[in-house]
Chain A
Amino acid sequence: MHFLKLISTFLKVNIQMSLAYRADTVVNILLNIMWLGWELLGLSIIFNNTTTLGGWGIGELIALLGVFRLINTMMASIIWPNTEKFNQSIRDGSLDYTLLQPAPSMFLVTFSRITIWRMWDLILSIVLIVAGVRMAGDVATPLNILTFLLLTVSGAIVLYSLWIVLIAFTFWFTKFDNNVTILQALLDAGRYPVSVYPAWVQIIVTYLVPIAVATTVPLQALRGDLTFGRVLIFLAVSIVAAWVASLVWKAGIQRYSGASS
């Protein structure tokens, strides 16, 4: 309850911050509309020339795009802005104040900045997912939908954990500004079904740096392609990832308070 209240307070503060600069606000809205148009255009080009991609039909691909956008919204509205703030706070020392606050530092670092302009992408993602599923003519059983939702959440957790580990590296390297660029580059690979990539890329993005877990896998669940055992494995992966991330974060904070001046 307390954390929900905190998130809503952060959200309020961030809306106020976003509205502080009028020109910036207008440009942001325009940019986001343009961005959406660009994405839809790209999609229509692909599907005017082909109807399947890596064995997936058009409806399934639209749903995949929806999941991809959902994850991307998380990146754009939370991960990118907080990374920027985090990198800066290490350099100017304001991280000290964050660490002095009586709330988990990982939580504070995750939610203190929220770019509200990308929040409406949430709605778009959901529209894409729902439309895609219906177009594919899939008769998704309630169980499929449930596993789909579960795996979307667990995919987001995996990505989030990767992010935490990446930014925590800053505690050891002092300057590591490209931390999230790596994550974004990998994530961009998740725009298309993993099956379009050569085998070695598939292995990397599924097992080594499990980006596919966040995009393709939930969709496979929706299509009913996953066995129960694999669903369990993916859920377990997300729990382990979150656990490892919190350990790395703790060690990072320890390192920070051991070394900084």
Chain B
Amino acid sequence: MSPEPILVEQLSKTYQVPEREGGFGAAVRSFFKRKYKDVKAVEKVSFRIEPGEVVGFLGPNGAGKTTTLKMLSGLLHPTSGRASVLGFTPWERKSDYLRSMTLVMGQRNRLSWDIPAADSFLLNQAIYRIPDDEYKKTYKELDELLELEPLMKKPVRNLSLGERMKCEIAAGLLHRPRVLFLDEPTIGLDITGQARIREFLREYNRRTGAAILLTSHYMADVTALCERIIIIHHGQLKYDGGLTDLSRKIAPFKLIGVMLSDADSHDLSRYGTEVQNEEDMDKRYLQVRADEVTRVTSQLLADLPVHDITIADPPIESVIEQAFNQ
């Protein structure tokens, strides 16, 4: 058995998607003769994740994130390649494997709509064969972190989205999985809701040492939880490494913000590329190559009536976007 919880080698998945032109004639023709097109959802992706690691799995819509997570949780068979999670081959779907991992999909419901979550939890307890004392212990812990108790008595349909998500996540963790695959766990939640789930995941990871592979469209989730990120685009791995290294590799730029006494009258184009920063409208911002920062700064200070100056890394969102587009 391999010591690392997740090992992925050259994993590929190709879908056959029915394809036809628009229009009535084409619809009738396609009824009799289907044409299929191969869509490469994931192409030769490799990575490994160590125990206790929290890794952000990023990419634009349709990049292959969900497909990868589904292969790793055993729902999909890959077209080629290998994967091993906790020493199991996921798509063999052995009971012992299913009992030691979880997949939480933010856009799908696992809880029954008409009954309180507490009853669905008991059903899970029976299916996962969790002994009573262990169940109570885990539930108490989850309750402590997520404040579940007040939500347990209401039918799930009467819960708010944020409350429901807490219950969904808890339902996925009752069996104390050692590997967590989270697909957009904070989708649709407000800022406080997102922050709560984030805080919970961090604490859960700290307490249990479970490995977490997480996709999210909210960069805050990623920056708060993950030291390491994996970026895929068009099914291919684009980047695998530290979050902080990413800016250095992908976008070796700094942002220099200057506050000038008569802000609009100066032409800054000869110092660097001017960029918009909506969070701070008082300053004007220049994107400058990292190795040029000292020179440009002293030049700015010498040439212009500078009141205030800041030097910062570009926001991670824009760096990642740049990484997607490379």
Interface residues of chain A, those whose CB is within 8 Å of chain B, are 2, 5-6, 9-10, 12-13, 16-17, 20-21, 92-94, 96-97, 99-103, 108, 254, 257-261
Nearest Cβ on chain B to A112's Cβ, whole angstroms:
9
Nearest Cβ on chain A to B35's Cβ, whole angstroms:
16
Chain A proximity mask over B88-132: 1 for CB below 8 Å, otherwise 0: 000101011011001101001110101100011011001111000
Complex Cα gap A140–B109 (Å): 52
Q: Tell me which of B67, B74, B123 contacts A9 (CB under 8 A).
A: B123
Complex Cα gap A16–B121 (Å): 14
Q: Tell me which of A10, A92, A100, A108 contacts B75 (CB under 8 A).
A: A100
Q: Which residues of the partner chain A approach B70 to less than 8 Å between Cβ atoms?
A: 96
Can you name 21 A-B residue pairings with CB atoms under 8 Å? A2-B129, A10-B123, A13-B112, A13-B115, A17-B114, A17-B115, A93-B105, A93-B108, A96-B75, A99-B93, A100-B75, A101-B98, A101-B128, A102-B95, A102-B99, A102-B129, A257-B76, A257-B91, A258-B77, A261-B15, A261-B41
B73 contacts A by Cβ under 8 Å: yes
Q: Tell me which of A5, A9, A12, A94 contacts B110 (CB under 8 A).
A: A94
The B interface is mostly helix, strand or loop, or mixed, namely mixed
Docked-complex contact A99 and B112, CB < 8 angstroms: no
Chain A: which residue is nearest B102 at the CB level?
A100
Chain A: which residue is nearest B107 at the CB level?
A93
Complex Cα gap A261–B91 (Å): 15
Complex Cα gap A10–B122 (Å): 10
Docked-complex contact A94 and B109, CB < 8 angstroms: yes
B16 contacts A by Cβ under 8 Å: yes
Complex Cα gap A9–B102 (Å): 22
Docked-complex contact A6 and B108, CB < 8 angstroms: no
Chain B: which residue is nearest A16 at the CB level?
B115
Nearest Cβ on chain B to A173's Cβ, whole angstroms:
12
Nearest Cβ on chain A to B104's Cβ, whole angstroms:
10
Nearest Cβ on chain A to B186's Cβ, whole angstroms:
19
B155 contacts A by Cβ under 8 Å: yes
Docked-complex contact A102 and B16, CB < 8 angstroms: no
